[in-house]
Every structure is written in C-alpha cells, then in structure tokens.
Amino acid sequence: MVEAAGAVERTLEAVLPRPVGHHGRVPEAMRYAIFAGGKRLRPFLVLHSARLFGVPDAQSLRAAAAIEALHTYSLVHDDLPAMDDDDLRRGRPTTHRKFDEATAILAGDALLTVAFEILAGRETHPDAEVRCALSLALARAGGSDGMIGGQMMDIVAPTAGYGMDEVVQLQRMKTGALFEFCCEAGALLGQAGPEHQARLRGFARDFGLAFQISDDIIDATGTAESAGKAVGKDQDMGKATLISLHGLEGARAEARRLAHQAAAALDIYGPEADDLRQLPFYLLDRES
C-alpha cells in the first residue's frame, strides 16, 4: 500500500493546479486537503485491479488520482458546519478551519471538477471510448444514486429509524460506490469484458461493507488521537449503524465473513490478485 500511496501522490503533484495568481488560495486549499495523508485505499484498488489486465501503471495512476481528488472533495464538504461540522481530519485542522468555509467549498468544487479533467486527458487512455466509460462510471458512483445519495441518507439517519436494509444501502452508496468504481476502473482501463467488471464490483461491494464496519468500530471504540478525527459521533446522534444492529462482536464477525467472501471472488485471478485479496483482512484490526 505504501508503494501505491507514493506513486499516486507523485501523480497528484503533477496534475493538480499550483497556487499562483490572484486565485491561488483555491489550489492551495486543494493541495492542503489532498496531501493531508491517509491510507490511499482507493488508488491502491485502482492500481492493483488494473494490473490484473496488464494496464500500464502510468494510466491507472491517473485514474487513481482522479478518484482521490473526488474522494477528497467529499471529505472537505462533509466536514463543513452544514454537514458533519468536524474540526479535525487526519490529525490536523479540516480545510474550512485552516482556511475558511467559502474557500473550502470552492476547493471541494475544484477537486470534483479536476477529477473529470484528469480522466478526460489522453494520457489516461488513448481510446476515447475508455475515457468516456471511466467518466460515466465515476459520475454515477459519485452522484445522487451513489455517494451523494448515501450522504443524503446519512443526514436524515438520526430521525429515520433505519433498519438493516437501509443501513446497508446507505453504506453501499456513501462509501461502497466509490470502491466499486475503483475496482471496475481497472477492468475498464484493461478493456476487459462485463464479467470481469461485475466480478470486481462484487469484490468491492463486500470489501466496502467490511471497511465501513471497521470504520464504525473505530468510531465506537477508538480515540480521536488514534483515529485522527472525532469519534463517537454516530452514537451521540442516535444513528443506526452496523454495530448498533449487529452488536460489537456480531459486527466483527460480519466483517470477517465479508472479508473472506471478497477474497474468494478473486480466486479466478490466482496469485496475481494476492495484494487485492489480502486487503480486506488488513482492515479488520486497523485503528484509523
């Protein structure tokens, strides 16, 4: 994972605008947000799913940079007072605390749009149809039936009385949709058939739920120091989560089940998929 993180950060450094001119505060805030650290899970998924189909890293790293830009925009906006109202992200002040709310909104908007600028570049893939397919898939994953729709469900969750089906739907939209794009992107870049795209989306779906359970466990049992962000907010707000519905030990058991199911989906790819196959198990004991 360290290799993928370093490679995508070098790519981001090259493709992101630089803080020059009278509007330089926006690129400065974009870079502050995107270079705040993090595990770079999404770039890892893009890079290693693409390698299954022989895609050059130079191409998959651009798709990885695009998804990281879009993901970071969502974090910048989620942290705003109108949304989650968080002061801490990855152990340092959130973008609106470091700069101001207006700048954070513009930086988020700019990160969202630069994601599609990156995908549209010929360097991402010589075939325009592939670039269009990537852009369409990312738009759907990040839109009202994907991440944004999941965020809407999350906003109303404290008073909605969600049961298991609704919580799973929320998590699959808010978090899982981007993971699904990351894995499908590898198949799209490799011009692999629909069966490969579906198989990798299935892996990502189970991986995404396991990831969210581990995130909920951190929120319920961790500290702000270890997590790098505020914890305990879901419980304080009365939101139903996979932990509140399963219980802590039940949630851990469900995460293990999902990790094994995700790994099994990649059996057809043999040892070439080992890095992807091991990733869900890495999540089970993480603290941030």
Q: Label residue 218 by pLDDT band (50, 70, 90).
A: confident
| pLDDT of the residue at 171 | 93
pLDDT reading at 150 higher than 70: yes
For residue 73, what are the domain limits?
A: 2-283
Three-state secondary structure string covering 143-175: CCCCHHHHHHHHHHHHHHCCCHHHHHHHHHHHH
The number of distinct structural domains making up the chain is 1
pLDDT reading at 250 higher than 60: yes
Among the listed residues 111, 108, 79, 72, the one whose alpha carbon sits nearest the alpha carbon of residue 93: 79
What is the residue-averaged pLDDT of the chain? 92
- The whole-number average pLDDT for the span 161-182 is 95
Length of the chain: 288
- Per-residue buried b or exposed e for 82-95, using 16+ beta carbons within 10 Å of the residue's own CB: eebebebbeeeebb
Dump strand ranges (E) for 32-112.
88-89, 92-93
In a domain, 274, yes or no: yes
CA–CA distance, 213 with 200 (Å, rounded to integer): 20
What Rg, from alpha-carbon coordinates, does the chain have? 18
In a domain, 92, yes or no: yes
Dump strand ranges (E) for the chain.
88-89, 92-93
Q: Calculate what percentage of the chain has a pLDDT beyond 90.
A: 79
pTM of the model: 0.91
Q: Calculate what percentage of the chain has a pLDDT beyond 70.
A: 93
Residue 165 CB: number of other CB atoms within 10 A? Answer: 8
CA–CA distance, 198 with 201 (Å, rounded to integer): 5
222: domain CATH number is 1.10.600.10
Q: Label residue 186 by pLDDT band (50, 70, 90).
A: very high
In a domain, 288, yes or no: no
Is 222 in contact with 287 (CB distance < 8 Å)? Answer: yes
Q: If 0-12 CB within 10 Å is exposed, 13-18 middle and 19+ buried, where does residue 230 land?
A: middle
